Amino acid sequence: MTDKKVVVYVPLDDRPCNNERVQLAGKAMGIEILFPPKDYFKNCLDNQPLNSTGSQLGSPDLIMGWLRNISQSRNIDAYLVSLDQINSGGLIGSRVATDDDISTEKNRIVDLMSIIGNKPAYFFDTVMRLASTLGFQNMGMYEYISTRLYAAHNRMPFRHSDKNIRKDHILTYYDIDGADHIISYQNMYNEDDRKLYTLTREQVNKYLTARKRKFKLNVEILEYIKGFPNTYISVGVDDSSHRLTIQENEISYIEDFIVGSNNVFAGADEIAMCLLSRIATDLYKNKPSVRVVYFGGAENEKPDNWDFRSLKCNVDTHIRLSGGTLVTDDRPVNMEVLVLTKPRNGKTHQQNSNDIHWHINNNNTNNILTSVIDASSNPTGDSHFQRRLLGDFGSPIQLTKLLAYSSWNTVGNAIGMSIGHGIGRTAFIGLNHDTKLLRYALEGQSKLLFTEYAKDICYKVGTAWYINKYLVDHLNDKTGQVFTKEQKEEIPWNFYKYGVNQNETNLGWGKSCLLWSSFIGMTTGDFNIHKLASIFYTNGDMFESYIGPYNNKITQVNWINYPYENGDSAWFHLVFPWHRTFECTFPLNVSFK
């Protein structure tokens, strides 16, 4: 196989999890991904520069024009489309509305299907999160917490067999609880900080209008798309909960009448990675067999506060979504997924970390393809497992031999990021390709794998806290302003609002603040990125092709770059696409021996 597959991709938004990571994943799977111009799908928080379109949201109409042109000028193998982007200008836009009329969106989807024609099309949608977006349309932390409390209040499950009756009931009774009482939006108790929160009637009406619009989009758009034989649909539940929340009846309706329970799961930001993997397994007609091994004994628990099913259920669903074949017996498999859970097996987190460490090394020794997920929620604790990965404890781990790693954000996100990447990569390297395509994909694999370790460990565990503290302290010194507790919490989520501009043409105080804190944070301490880079270029064996444990091509990394200081030039630094420290990106270059 010599030619790259070509996939048209309409992202959820421009965050790195939906943009750069997916682009590198496509490359690792031998796929060229075609994006619309970035300003067509970019989202902006309040007090930030607008898109060139003059909006805070993406532009569905401009995307449609781009889709028409690219579909005529290129030979497309498949389409991967976020319905939140094409209907609402992105994930943020899907959570707000002035009314619940969706006639424009329905007409746009009809046009979209005519553009796609008979080509395979993979769509992903979300069940609206419990609260809207912090820092958008003036939503502060107080209103965010208040809205989430209101939405998380128990609702009455409604399971009528007639879908129209059920839909009308959901839209009518959003404000009724499990005891058939109107839900109060005043003096709501928050267990986390033991405080009472109150919404206004106007805020509640605005929220419920957005929710009605989103659910109507879920129902009517998905039902229309489902009628085409060349489509595949998945639905992520954004910011969920283990309670019977306002999402409960929406989820059950979508499962019962539209896509089935196997295509609905907790998560949102990982869906594109998983569907890209499914595209790879479909295009290559190669669906890897997968065995899951858990370390910790908590696989039958809900892994965090944002999930509504067990860890095992979520892992199994993501494997099927990504095009893998789940194997539960002892037969040989194409790859393993190793999952570190919370300690529920009588062992400590450190002991379970040692066990998964040994299993990783054993798999590497025996050339068994492996993806790793940290679902232990421990990086905020002693980060013992992350320190093992970077070589602080036990025998060295050949990180470059792994297919994928993730501990990013929610457990659902981490599951999908690692599983989608791993299965899609396995589908590609398990077939015969020419050397040029193999090297193209190896470059994507090395960059994405390094990014996963660098961002999920070196940055999220070792650096983000430092940058957050430095930003607040630096702003205090620079402006002389004494910030409130809420402002201190908000600064890392929208530092542009407070005058820190990473895009200054000169080395202004805001830009130098980010340059300095990024460099120091990434190159000092236990999670120093130099440790990671050294692992990559001193013992950097990577599978370039893999037909089996005894029929593969291994190539070594020669050099990979990372944030550094180079003479008198500016630091090679992190970039924060949303002017917040939650997620970053940085350019990478790699060479091979």
Q: Convert the pLDDT of each residue in 535-570 to its tens digit.
A: 998 889 999 999 888 888 999 999 887 766 554 445
Which CATH number does the domain housing residue 274 bear?
A: 3.40.50
Nearest residue to 22 (alpha-carbon basis) of 272, 320, 275, 269:
272
Count the residues in the chain: 593
Q: Indicate the helix (H) or strand (E) that contains 552.
A: strand 551-560
CA distance linking residue 495 with residue 241, whole number of Å: 29
Sheet holding 31-34, edge to edge: 31-34, 5-10, 78-82, 121-127, 231-237, 264-266
Separation of alpha carbons 264 and 260, rounded Å: 7
Same domain, 272 and 224: yes
- Rounded CA gap, 252 and 267, in Å? 16
Query: Which of 383, 574, 585 lies closest to 467, judged by CA?
Result: 574
pLDDT > 90: percent of the chain: 74
Torsion of CA 508, 514, 515, 516, to 10 degrees: 100
Radius of gyration of the CA atoms of the chain, in A = 23
Q: Which of 62, 91, 491, 447 is nearest to 267 (CA)?
A: 91
What's the CA angle centered on 390, arms 289 and 538, to 5 degrees? 90
Q: Write the pLDDT tens digit of every residue in 323-360.
A: 999 999 999 999 999 999 999 999 999 999 999 999 99
What is the tally of structural domains in the chain?
A: 2
Domain assignment present for 527: no
- Domain coverage including residue 380: 289-447
Does some domain include residue 566? Answer: no
Q: Are residues 125 and 184 in the same domain?
A: yes
Residue 480 within a domain: no
Angle at the Cα of 6 (from 4 to 8), degrees rounded to 5? 160
Q: Note whether 199 and 65 are same-domain residues.
A: yes
Beta bridge partners of 404: 371
Residue 217 in domain: yes
- The verdict on 277 and 293 lying in the same domain is no
Predicted structure pTM score: 0.95
* Boundary residue ending a domain (283, 302, 323): 283
Shared domain check, 265 and 392: no
Average pLDDT over residues 47-57: 94
Is 148 within a domain?
Answer: yes
CA atoms within 13 A on the CB side of 32: 12
Whether residues 187 and 60 fall in one domain? yes
Q: Return the C-alpha torsion angle 542, 435, 325, 125, nearest 10.
A: 90
β-pairing, 31-34 with 78-82? Answer: unpaired
20 and 121, same structural domain? yes
Q: Is the pLDDT of residue 419 over 60?
A: yes
pLDDT bucket at 393, cuts 50 / 70 / 90: confident
Q: Is the pLDDT of residue 509 over 90?
A: no
Helices 271-283 and 411-429, axial angle in degrees (round to 10):
20
Please report the sign of the dihedral spanned by the C-alpha atoms of residue 300, residue 292, residue 324, residue 4: positive
Q: Which of 246, 264, 283 is the last residue of a domain?
A: 283
Choosing from 246, 261, 283, the residue where a domain stops is 283
Q: Are residues 28 and 168 in the same domain?
A: yes
Output the six-digit token pair for 583.
């997620």
DSSP 487: H
User: Which residues share a beta bridge with 591?
Assistant: 559
Q: Which two tokens stand for residue 368?
A: 């068994």
Q: Coil, strand, or helix at residue 387?
A: helix
Distance CA 265, CA 192 (A): 25
Structural domain contains residue 13: yes
Distance CA 235, CA 232 (A): 11
Token couple for 100:
């619940």
- Let me know whether 53 and 33 are in one domain: yes
Q: Burial letters for 416-442: b for 16+ Cβ neighbours within 10 Å, e otherwise?
A: bbbbbbbbbbbbbbbeebeeebbebbb
Q: Is residue 45 part of a domain?
A: yes
Q: By mean pLDDT, which of 160-174, 187-201, 478-492 is the weakest?
A: 478-492
Q: Look at residue 11 and tell me if it is in a domain.
A: yes
Question: Can you read off the two tokens belonging to residue 311?
Answer: 């860890």
- Predicted pLDDT of residue 572: 59
Is 229 found in the same domain as 347?
no
Is pLDDT at 40 greater than 70 in this prediction? yes
Question: pLDDT digit string (tens) for 267-324?
Answer: 999 999 999 999 999 999 999 999 999 999 999 999 988 888 899 999 999 999 999 9
Q: Are residues 221 and 161 in the same domain?
A: yes
353 phi-psi bin (left φ>0, alpha ψ -120 to 50, beta other): alpha
- The DSSP line for 267-281 is -STTHHHHHHHHHHH
Q: Which residues 6+ apart lie within 8 Å of 561 measured at CB?
A: 533, 572, 588, 589, 590
Percentage of the chain lying above the pLDDT 70 cut: 97
| Mean pLDDT within 219-242 | 92
- Cα dihedral sign for 410, 411, 415, 421? positive
So what's the pLDDT on residue 259? Answer: 92
Q: 86 with 9, same domain?
A: yes
